[in-house]
Amino acid sequence: MFQPEFWIAFIIVLAIAIYSLTGGADLGAGAWALVSRKGQRQVLSKALEPIWEANHVWLIVVVVLLFVAFPKAFAAISVALHIPLIVMLLSIVVRGSVLAYILYYEKAQRRISGGLYFLFGLGSLMTPMAMGTIIGTVFSGNVRVDPATGEVLTDYVTPWLSFYPLAVGVLTLLLFTFLGASYLIFETPDPALKRSFRLKAIMSGLLLGWMTLVCFSFSEGGSLGLRIGFNQKLWSLIYFSLSGLAAIGALMCFITKRDKLGRFLAGGQALMIIFGWAISQYPNVLVPDLTISNSSSPQELLNPLLVALVIGLALIVPLFVYFYWVFKKPQLSPFHSGATPSGK
């Protein structure tokens, strides 16, 4: 029988997965603003308008649960990785602030400066880069902590400013841009725009496959967690293998214009990567010193927290699904009412 800390850790991973499929895809779509033209930018800004803030709920869930259920790990990560964490938070703030201006100018039919789209795209690019770098560092074993006191024993730069964590940052960016492009295909009826987003999905998917191979190739020297996971857990290897098959299937679907199946397989690939990572890292929270058991809060706190989580998820998940259903129905999209943006 698993202890409460296991189920809370599972919910944290589940929240990361949901955030990747929702907020991660938003970030990936926003990053495409750096290399998109006017019509494409209009599509992505309108697609993000009703839902981008709500998606951050899952990121908040991850942070709060880590703070409450695993305070020693939360403190160590916050101290050792405060530089990439600050970059991530500033990027989220800049991205959200600039998007608010872009949407206001669009509704007022005012000219939007290219500098605004640049800042929006840059914030959308830096956020997943920082997120992936943090995850790669947590997984790498570069951060050493005294399990008894929680004191960080390494410096604040060297652990994350190395090849493997930065490579995972690029991998995360490519995964999110792949998801974002695969979603944007469905945000416009314009065949030319659909074709451009489909091409972006294929390009980012190919780069994602290459970057995945790079990360695996350097995991022997850069990732203690992945190395231990592959040596001891067959399921992690199976998950990563299935993610590769899903990636190939998604690319073939986009090439043959079977977009719905391609989007489904792209999401499946993301889930396989995330859960494969979690299985490889288990039972570590911060490799190799902090585990689920030695960094968790007392049982007197975890038991009621788990009950509250179950009740909260039972309320939030159906409302979140309904929210998406309302705002993402095709007939409610501004580009399905006959107004098609021009610009390839």
**Is the residue at 324 inside a domain?**
yes
The whole-number pLDDT of residue 335 equals 42
137, 83 contact by CB (below 8 A): no
The whole-number pLDDT of residue 277 equals 84
Which residues make Cβ contacts (< 8 Å) with residue 151, sequence separation at least 6? Answer: 145
**Is the residue at 335 inside a domain?**
no
The whole-number pLDDT of residue 340 equals 45
Phi, psi angles (nearest 5°) of residue 152: -75, 130
Domain that holds residue 14: 4-328
CA angle 89, 49, 83 (to 5 degrees): 10
What residues does 286 pair with on adjacent strands?
290
Q: Mean pLDDT for each 10-residue chunk of the chain (344 residues)?
A: 88 94 92 88 82 84 95 95 96 90 76 83 95 93 90 93 93 96 92 94 94 80 57 64 88 95 94 86 89 93 94 90 78 44 45
**Is the residue at 336 inside a domain?**
no
The whole-number pLDDT of residue 225 equals 54
Distance of CA 206 to CAs 175, 185, 211, 232, 324, Å? 10, 17, 9, 30, 29
**Is the residue at 209 inside a domain?**
yes
**Is the residue at 24 inside a domain?**
yes
Q: At 102, list the tokens.
A: 């872009």
Closest by CA position to 85, among listed 130, 23, 132 = 130
Domain count, the chain: 1
**Is the residue at 333 inside a domain?**
no
Closest by CA position to 275, among listed 231, 221, 233 = 233
**Is the residue at 313 inside a domain?**
yes
pTM of this prediction? 0.89
